[in-house]
Amino acid sequence: MARSRTTKFDASEVITNEIIRIIERGVLPWRKPWTAGGSSRPLRVGGEPYQGVNNFLLTMRTVMAGHSSPFWMTLPQANALDAKVRKG
What phi and psi values does residue 43 have, to the nearest 5 degrees?
A: -120, 145
Residue-wise pLDDT tens digits, 24-83: 877 666 666 655 556 667 888 888 888 888 887 887 777 777 788 888 888 888 889 898
Best CA proximity match to 60, nearest among 38, 85, 42: 42
pLDDT band at 1 (very low <50, low <70, confident <90, very high): low
The domain locations on the chain are 42-87
pLDDT at 6 over 80: no
